[in-house]
Amino acid sequence: MASSAGPEIERLIALLAKLPGLGPRSARRAALMLLKRREQLLGPLAQALAEAAAKVTTCATCGALDTTDPCAICADPRRDGALLCVVEEVGALWAMERASAFRGRYHVLGGLLSALDGVGPDALRIAALAARASDEAVREVILALPATVDGQTTSHYLADRLASAGVAVTMLARGVPVGGELDWLDDGTIAQAMRARRPA
Ligand SMILES: [Zn+2]
């Protein structure tokens, strides 16, 4: 594509286009919006980006992102250290926190096992998980991984790997989503929900 703006602006557009959900066209629109609203938007955004780049770090214990290491969740004495929730990425941790349904601690794997993409156990934070799970304070490891082929493969691998750690290993239930109409669900979800039924 022929460049129509100066090199600084083209560089801004090229970087924005690397963000998830933004293609070249929407990156161009976003850049234009930022440049039009330099004081309200571009300045504060640049400052927030610089602060995040300088301060945000990965928690060496759980793999979450925070400005402190250990992160606020690992350091919070009110969180239940007996419960360890395993998630694929930090985004899933944030989703769990938004739901306010879990008061234990987390372990971020950093991906899923994938034969197709050549991701093996050593590429993920699995050895660190096994070490944490064998800590006598941990009672239950909850596998909160995606309901995909790679997610299930990873869950089964982890259940095997943790079998000797002396902890209960559980998985999130699969089934009918809140507000879900049965005739809109796919066959796999209905079959899972039937298998996972419980006393009413
Ligand atoms: Zn942490």
- What is the Å distance from ligand 1's center to 38 Cα? 36
On the question of pLDDT at 142 being above 90, the answer is yes
Residue 68: pLDDT band with limits 50, 70, 90:
very high
70 token code pair: 């250990």
- What is the Å distance from ligand 1's center to 86 Cα? 12
On the question of pLDDT at 3 being above 90, the answer is no
Lowest mean pLDDT among 27-41, 87-101, 171-185: 171-185
- What is the Å distance from ligand 1's center to 71 Cα? 4
pTM, rounded to two decimals: 0.87
- What is the Å distance from ligand 1's center to 121 Cα? 21
Portion of the chain with pLDDT greater than 70, in percent: 98
On the question of pLDDT at 156 being above 90, the answer is yes
Rounded Cα–Cα distance for residues 99 and 92 (Å):
11
- What is the Å distance from ligand 1's center to 148 Cα? 26
Rounded Cα–Cα distance for residues 148 and 168 (Å):
22
| pLDDT at position 2 | 54
6 token code pair: 């100066």
- What is the Å distance from ligand 1's center to 75 Cα? 7
- What is the Å distance from ligand 1's center to 132 Cα? 12
| pLDDT at position 102 | 96
Closest by CA position to 143, among listed 116, 119, 163: 163
- What is the Å distance from ligand 1's center to 63 Cα? 6
Portion of the chain with pLDDT greater than 90, in percent: 86
On the question of pLDDT at 9 being above 90, the answer is yes
143 and 133 Cβ atoms separated by less than 8 Å: no
Residue pLDDT, tens place only, 16-53: 999 999 999 999 999 999 999 999 999 999 999 999 99
On the question of pLDDT at 54 being above 80, the answer is yes
Alpha-helical segments (H) within the chain:
7-16, 24-36, 43-55, 72-75, 90-99, 126-133, 149-162, 187-195
- What is the Å distance from ligand 1's center to 178 Cα? 29
Ligand 1 (ion): which residues have CB within 5 A?
59, 61-62, 64, 70-71, 74
- What is the Å distance from ligand 1's center to 65 Cα? 8
- What is the Å distance from ligand 1's center to 107 Cα? 8
- What is the Å distance from ligand 1's center to 88 Cα? 14
- What is the Å distance from ligand 1's center to 69 Cα? 7
For the chain, what is the mean pLDDT? Answer: 94
